Structure 1
Amino acid sequence: MDGARTVAEALAVHGGTVVRVGTDAEVAPLIGPGTRVVELRGRSLLPGINDSHLHGAWLGTMWPDTLMARLAAAPDGGGFGDGGHGHDGHDHAGEGPALAALTTSAERRRAILRTGELLASLGITSYTEPGLGPGEDGGPTGCFSSAVLAEYAELAAEGLLRARVTALLLFGLLDGASSAGDLLHGLKGFEAPAEVPGWFRVAGVKIFADGIPPMGSAWSEEPYADGGHGALLVDGADPGEREANLRAMIRAAHAAGHQIGVHATGSRTTRVVTEAFAEARAADGRDGRHYLIHGDVLHPATLAAMAAAGVGLNTQPGIAAATAPMLAGALGADALAHAWPVRDALAAGVPLCLSSDAPVLAPNWRAGAAAAATRAVEATGRDQRLALVEALYAYTAAPARQDGAEGWKGTLEAGRAADLCLLDADLREVAPAALPEVPVAMTVLDGRVVHEA
């Protein structure tokens, strides 16, 4: 997964670090009496997978349940709830509570560690918790609170995490309202847990700008069936004031040195957020590695502006596949021409990360990569499929860049972290649609085997 997309024969690990990559003959001299040799025999070794948008504590309480499975099983097809995903912990598909509240340290630890075990079995060695903090301290589930944030830091310090975790702070409600005042207060008054190098880091801030198109809550250039255009979730007396407050929030978080991930789905929201990111970067020249989350509808001009400002896109191919008919129903079939344009994003030069948003979807990155490599927008004839190697890059090296860690993880190169995912197949011979069925044979984290089939 390096820039040249190199394929090698052999790799050597010592003390948590990749020390040599090359041919069998180049690596064999490093085999000593205490070396474990794993013969690949045609199987494929990848960098450890990085699910760059995954709610770990929430996943640990819900698994094996997922929100999309609940919606699909609902008699009426279900619904998404006010904010989009039902992150408030209530089951909007009519099946009762989705999870119990995390009220004690033991419960929080159990949820995080359960997720770590699950991810190890899937070859995932890094993930981003996209929104933990005081904005959700009064939330009904406890899955997104500052107590969960502190628990991650403590587990990391104790050496108990089964994955490397990056977190974003949350000063509003998850999938809900936020205010410029709350964010400014949080930036000044909230003390995030200290970094545990290599294992836990608070990278920045999460902002919810709008909802989602199927619920009519995304702020959209395209009109909904009722003639409306949705609205921002940010506080304000009118659309102009809400937009001004959103831009002010982005400026403030950038000026404070934070990376910013913005939940932005509607075409008007994605445009305005991109403009705000570009303005913030122009003010001081700093590349904050900011990114749009989901990015359901992105017009070509927005993609060009994202590329020019170095703004990334973090999106979920599985959600695109599952909800495209709902998006078309809300905004019209013509909106699909600009829906989840991952191929166009790469062509424009936008840094692209693929992720699961688990437990909205299952954290099966193989299914996500397959969806990205097989999806086409039939209604418009526009093909947005990625090559399989591009999808794999968006689950490994690209999210390492999002984490600001591309210098030490995300690729199989000498000097990088020995985070590895071994698949029981030769990916050069696997049809993308068959990838979800390829078993994960081994996961190595920091040079230690944490899963072996």
Structure 2
Amino acid sequence: MKSAADNRSADLVMTGGVVHTMNPAGHLASGIAIKDGRIVRVGTPLQVQAMVGPETEVVRLRGRSVLPGINDAHLHGAWLGLRWPDLLLDRLTGTDNLAPDSRLGKAEERRAAILRTGDLLASLGITSYTEPGLGPCEHDGGGRFGVEVLREYADMAARGELKARVSALLLFAEMDGRSSLPDVVAGLRDLTPPAEVPGWFKVTGVKIFADGIPPMRTAWSDEPYEDGTHGAPLVDGDSLDERENALTTMIETVAAAGHQVAVHATGSRATRTVTRALAGAPGRRHYLVHGDVLHPDTLKTMAAAGIGLTTQPGIAAAASPMLRDALGQAALGHAWPVRDALAAGVRLCLSSDAPMLTPDWRHGVAAAATRWAVDGAPDQRLALDQALRAYTIAPAWQDGAESWKGSLEPGKVADLCVLDAGLLDVHPADLPEVPIAMTLVDGKVVYER
């Protein structure tokens, strides 16, 4: 029979390291105590030692760092499980030996891909991610983006088979393709999303494609391409005005239906138009995805309206020269302005867009903290703490879950990433070489080196 002291003791205590809490004050601690899957104390070794009882597991960190579990705000999980380790960015950088995608036509194939991704992400300290675009699209990429994948996630979550928490966005269009207002209206009317599995799976919103990407000359841009064109919205319509109006109405319709709206927008005219539409739409926590070119006035509007930005420093690292070649040096001056976005008050999330890039967030932090752009671009380097927040507490805000995850504070879920070194002793450029020592979800070890 347990004593009262045993009931107060923790299941797990980690002590003697550097605990990056990611709380609003940016506190660092040296110990953390966990009980029943929740954080019960964060503080000094003496403070957490008081939580040690006869059955408490004690981990001596020996200077290692502890972070909140990493939250990738934009990661195609089922597709990643199908492709890994082949990455799609190779298509833009000249590699032509990519393996073709297989189909995810059967339930066991979908489940295997999601499980494979779960194991991979656990080994990287990733405990949450947003699956950005699943639904009844006509061309669903061989089953990779279909509604069946959406339902597979919900079923696996209900069975306790997921190793990471999943937020999903609905998609009523072709991935990276054209969309139409009637298709969005029909999707909202006809699709009943799977029920939430609290803490593990939730449909949080709808994804919309505003335009393409600059290297393909499909971004909708104020700055002209070399042939004098500016691109156009990736929305059906007989004229530019019709397309723009359809895009704006699409955003307003999705928001009015009570959904969070996430819009793929890359060119400067796309980001400006989408920001204005989101600023006038009902609801909150809407955000831009990618945001390759963002002018200062657009950033100000985003901040004032509480519109977030989810972008990928790894894509910026590889694509800055291609953006300059497509749109010129003037556009490069406003490309991926992550530091300016934070200074303006925009909520910033960093992500991988895997399998476009590796899901390894350490590479993303390294790119964000060392700056990626070609000569002549403004310095947009982030401090280490800023980059880490963009992979932890900021994505929790995007998920509407910052009250219970995203930082290491008492009462929150015990999702942890333990690094095999002290972050304060590592140059950000060297972070990709620091091993992940341990990953915990709900206080349970899902990966240990």
TM normalised by structure 1 equals 0.93
Structure 2 partner of 1:135: 137
1:342-381 aligned within 5 A: 342-375=338-371, 377-381=373-377
Structure 2 partner of 1:85: none
Structure 2 partner of 1:295: 291
Which whole-Å CA distance do the structure 1 matches of 2:100 and 2:370 have between them?
Answer: 31
Structure 2 partner of 1:449: 445
Structure 1 partner of 2:8: none
Which whole-Å CA distance do the structure 2 matches of 1:379 and 1:197 have between them?
Answer: 47
Structure 1 partner of 2:26: 5
1:405 to 389, 392, 401: 401
Amino acid at match of 1:104: K
1:114-153 aligned within 5 A: 114-136=116-138, 138-153=139-154
Deviations 1:154-183 (A, max 9, x none): 000000001000000000010001011000
8 Å CA contact 2:141–2:175 kept in 1: the answer is no
Structure 2 partner of 1:22: 43
Secondary structure at the counterpart of residue 50 of structure 1 = strand
Secondary structure at the counterpart of residue 102 of structure 1 = coil
Amino acid at match of 2:123: S
Which whole-Å CA distance do the structure 2 matches of 1:134 and 1:172 have between them?
Answer: 8
The alignment of Structure 1 onto Structure 2 pairs a total of residues equal to 428
| 1:9 CA displacement | 1.0
Moved more, 26-35 or 101-110: 26-35
Structure 2 partner of 1:33: 54
CA distance change for structure 1 residues 70 and 382 in 2, over 3 Å: closer, same or farther? closer
CA distance change for structure 1 residues 322 and 118 in 2, over 3 Å: closer, same or farther? same
| 1:25 CA displacement | 1.0
Which whole-Å CA distance do the structure 2 matches of 1:69 and 1:217 have between them?
Answer: 19
Structure 1 partner of 2:386: 390
8 Å CA contact 1:313–1:351 kept in 2: the answer is yes
Structure 2 partner of 1:159: 160
8 Å CA contact 1:333–1:379 kept in 2: the answer is no
Deviations 1:28-80 (A, max 9, x none): 111112111111111000000000100000000000111124554xxxx25xx
Identical aligned residues as a percent: 64
Which whole-Å CA distance do the structure 2 matches of 1:70 and 1:398 have between them?
Answer: 30
CA distance change for structure 1 residues 46 and 209 in 2, over 3 Å: closer, same or farther? same
CA distance change for structure 1 residues 140 and 408 in 2, over 3 Å: closer, same or farther? closer
1:26-425 aligned within 5 A: 26-69=47-90, 71-72=92-93, 77=94, 93=96, 95=97, 98-136=100-138, 138-281=139-282, 286=283, 288-375=284-371, 377-425=373-421
| 1:96 CA displacement | 6.4
Deviations 1:226-275 (A, max 9, x none): 00000111111111000000000110111111001100000000000000
Amino acid at match of 1:430: V
Amino acid at match of 2:29: A
Structure 1: which 5+ runs fail to align? 79-92
Structure 2 partner of 1:89: none
| 1:381 CA displacement | 4.9
8 Å CA contact 2:309–2:347 kept in 1: the answer is yes
8 Å CA contact 2:30–2:43 kept in 1: the answer is yes
Which whole-Å CA distance do the structure 2 matches of 1:122 and 1:139 have between them?
Answer: 28
Secondary structure at the counterpart of residue 412 of structure 2 = coil
| 1:376 CA displacement | 5.3
Structure 2 partner of 1:84: none
Amino acid at match of 1:228: T
8 Å CA contact 2:86–2:99 kept in 1: the answer is no
Which whole-Å CA distance do the structure 1 matches of 2:355 and 2:54 have between them?
Answer: 44
Which whole-Å CA distance do the structure 2 matches of 1:70 and 1:172 have between them?
Answer: 23
Secondary structure at the counterpart of residue 28 of structure 2 = coil
Which whole-Å CA distance do the structure 1 matches of 2:344 and 2:85 have between them?
Answer: 37
Which whole-Å CA distance do the structure 2 matches of 1:185 and 1:97 have between them?
Answer: 35
